[in-house]
Amino acid sequence: MRVGIVGLGIAGFRPATPEYSWKELMFEAAARAYADAGVDPRTQVDSFITCAEDYYEGFGIFDEFVPDQLGAVLRPTCTVSGDGLQGLASAYMQIQTGLIDVAVVEAHSKASDLLTLDGVLAHGLDPVWTKPLGMHAYVVAGLEADAFLRSTRTPRSALDRVVAKNRGNGLRNPAAAYGARVDPDQAGASEARFSPLRRLDISAPADGCVVLVVASEAAARRLKADAVWIRGIGWASDSPTLETRAWTEAAYARLAAAMAYRLAKLRTPARDIGIAEVDDRFSYKELQHLEAIGLAKRGEAGRRALRGDFDLGGRLPVNASGGSIGCGNLFEASGLHRAAEVVLQLRGDAGRRQVDGVRTGVAQSWRFVPSTTGAVAVLGVGR
């Protein structure tokens, strides 16, 4: 059974949204997604999925507070305590059972309301292994970045090029909180943070919400929708401990991609994929993830970035949206935003950042430090 994305809506995407509550962000994104899909959530949606971690919200049993603004009152609603792309995988599986025709996936960030973000990262995502060390969670990213650069012999200047590219791409995207003209030299000269990472290597938090409407092929035909099909989707976790995890590669992304490519029957992803949206919440992660999911050979991503292969107009445009460096770190909504941006590209609705002629794209997510969990979705149009 084919499963497709038939509607999307986004709201917010700013460093702070004091005029919105998180419920209002969710309502606005959902209303846009329902209008895009042409569905009535009260009568035509069978399942609602929210992707949230209670620690980010400030209260427990988060899905108790979700139904009103999604139009899901007294309807099946569940929470995926993970990234939005993991929620999309749940919707895909629900529809594949044949029991559900249409599902809605929601993920959001209201990071500007958080007074204790560092504490959430330390305790909410890893209360056992890393927190007792008493260090900032980003120290893990700095150590991993150093291991990646050394093992692959990637020049530090490649990270600066990623920053300049993604901040620049963000200028073409109205849903980008941090689009700017940044010279690679500026990126490399920004303040040192978690060596070798500098300030501009780290995506800044943003508020926003993404809602996708997902449907079976039969439902998509009834809705007369211009569907983008989920050809394959996969997810995986690496070790939670610092002592036993992979430091020089993103093993979770490699495993998730293998699953997604197998379902999509995609044997040569580097040749068949026309656009990629990958997690870049630290600049080195874009390069590490590209190598992990088979879109660049090991040790080549940095040099290809310096050649411009991943630019708009390059051989494989990567994060044409601006990624998280350009759009902002949406935390649990980051992966769903990667998928939404691929959908816009495949539908030809990406505006000034549109890449012509793409028919297959990949979205990849990571749940953020200090976790080692990720997901990959292969999306396409036509048969």
Q: How far apart are CA 264 and CA 287, in angstroms?
A: 23
Phi, psi dihedrals of residue 179, rounded to the nearest 5°: -65, 135
Q: Which two tokens stand for residue 364?
A: 């990849």
What number of other Cβ atoms are within 10 A of residue 70's Cβ? 25
Fold for domain 3-115+206-222? Peroxisomal Thiolase; Chain A, domain 1 (3.40.47)
Q: How far apart are CA 25 and CA 81, in angstroms?
A: 19
For residues 142 and 283, the answer to whether their CB atoms sit within 8 Å is no
Q: What's the pLDDT tens digit per position in 8-62?
A: 999 999 999 999 999 999 999 999 999 999 999 999 999 999 998 888 887 778 8
What number of other Cβ atoms are within 10 A of residue 131's Cβ? 17
Look up residue 318 and give its DSSP letter: B
Q: What's the pLDDT tens digit per position in 133-172?
A: 888 999 999 999 999 999 999 999 999 999 999 999 999 9
pTM over 0.75: yes
Closest residue by Cα to residue 359 from 370, 371, 351, 347 = 347
Q: What's the pLDDT tens digit per position in 295-312?
A: 999 999 999 999 999 999
Instruction: Please list the ranges in the chain whose pLDDT falls under 70.
Output: none
Same CATH topology for 3-115+206-222 and 118-202+229-380: the answer is: yes
Domain residue limits, the chain: 3-115+206-222, 118-202+229-380
Fold for domain 118-202+229-380? Peroxisomal Thiolase; Chain A, domain 1 (3.40.47)
Closest residue by Cα to residue 231 from 199, 271, 263 = 263
Report pLDDT for 328: 97
Report pLDDT for 382: 81
Give the CB-side neighbour count of residue 290, counting CA atoms within 13 A.
28
